[in-house]
Structure 1
């Protein structure tokens, strides 16, 4: 569990906050996962939106709360919790309502696999939801990111920020390459093949009851579909499962794609289809 020590938190005002406070961004996949979970639990919480495109997560104030500069981040009666899956495991203990983690050890293991694909989702998202052009954070922003925050998690030196910095530097220098997209899509195809098998004869990913695993993969599958991934063609059971969840209360309202962003994504995918670099084309599955 990633709970920060008091010495990790430089923006000390949050240590006095009462109740549940969620730092999030509307379009962040991990934030969407937390918001769906909280909605299904019927929990009361206070939201604090951190605008990622404006690099508000690199501000001194926010890095003083989460030294990794990521969202979501939860403050629960003054205790700061980071990393979305750890936050969810904490909240399952903290909140009542319908159980969404029936087998904690098993779900924690399966969520690690989902978490390993996070940078792959970011790769595909950036390629197919933005118009062609520079990708990445400004050099000034990355300098603030490197220098900001305590640099510790749990009272010990934290190296996790290095992975984020490496991603942004690569994106700025090389962009999102066709090779990176093919590799990311290949890993997702293998993972979704596994989900397709799980859904054979089952309503949900762990049987006939909704679980946190469904919430996590709903967010990923929806994002991939919006990026042009041929979900219905390659994984028809997953596609049907996604449609079912999208129609249930608490899901679609937390993952609304703003009209202006939908327009940009559609134009991006149109242009790349003309160039032969749309996602199905790079995967070699377009009919």
Structure 2
């Protein structure tokens, strides 16, 4: 779990749960949703990605890749959304968002791992590719290159969005094929249960429902996945979904049909 040691006195002095997040970030949505579902108070640190407010030495002292979200819990830094979820679930185990069975926990681990390994090559590739807008200006790209000395792959990803034509269509289609397979699997699961892994809300639900908000905004073809859409509609009635996702991205309160 990425818990980052620090001797920064300003960070060490932070009391309570301090969440560094951005409105439209699906990864940030996960943490807001977890906290709001469990009724856990948190301190709001909004990082405006559109204004490139993450590209500062101060923020890189918290998150080594300059991404959101990041959590500072009484001076302890945790980053990467799946790891923050696991950290918070261990600290606040009630109500439980962890499956009761070993099989369920193994399934959960697989789903959380995809949010890590598939974030840039699949999720961001599809969303940014279909959005087809540069993610950086030349000035902010220079800042990124200076700050991201140890993460050249992040620099290369953003450079691709700035190239003529943006992210290559074959990469977007390959990502879409993987995502369609994932949503087909989720749709089948939801034909049998109220929640992704059964009759209990788990971290799998917290991790995956924000993808709807992100992808709906870029016109992902959700129409074939009727059970998934019914699931989204149920989520939209939950106060935590409204506070953590709907209020930050109004389109996430709409359905594709």
Counterpart for residue 115 of structure 1: 116
How far the C-alpha of 1:20 sits from its partner, in A, is 0.6
**1:1-287 matches, cutoff 5 A:** 1-6=1-6, 11-102=8-99, 104-119=105-120, 120-129=122-131, 134-148=133-147, 159=150, 161-174=151-164, 175-232=166-223, 234-256=224-246
Count how many residue pairs are aligned between Structure 1 and Structure 2. 245
Deviations 1:222-274 (A, max 9, x none): 32223222212x21111111111122221133223768x86xxxxxxxxxxxx
Where structure 2 has 5 or more consecutive residues not aligned to the other structure, the ranges are 252-257
Superposed CA RMSD in Å reads: 2.3
- Contact 1:124 1:227 survives alignment (8 Å): no
How far the C-alpha of 1:4 sits from its partner, in A, is 0.5
How far the C-alpha of 1:5 sits from its partner, in A, is 1.7
Where structure 1 has 5 or more consecutive residues not aligned to the other structure, the ranges are 152-158, 263-287
Runs of 4+, deviation exceeding 4 Å? none
**TM-score normalised to structure 1 length:** 0.78
- Contact 2:31 2:81 survives alignment (8 Å): yes
Distance 1:201 1:35, change over 3 A: same
Deviations 1:100-135 (A, max 9, x none): 122555422221123333223323333555xx6x51
The 3-state SS of whatever aligns with 2:240 is: coil
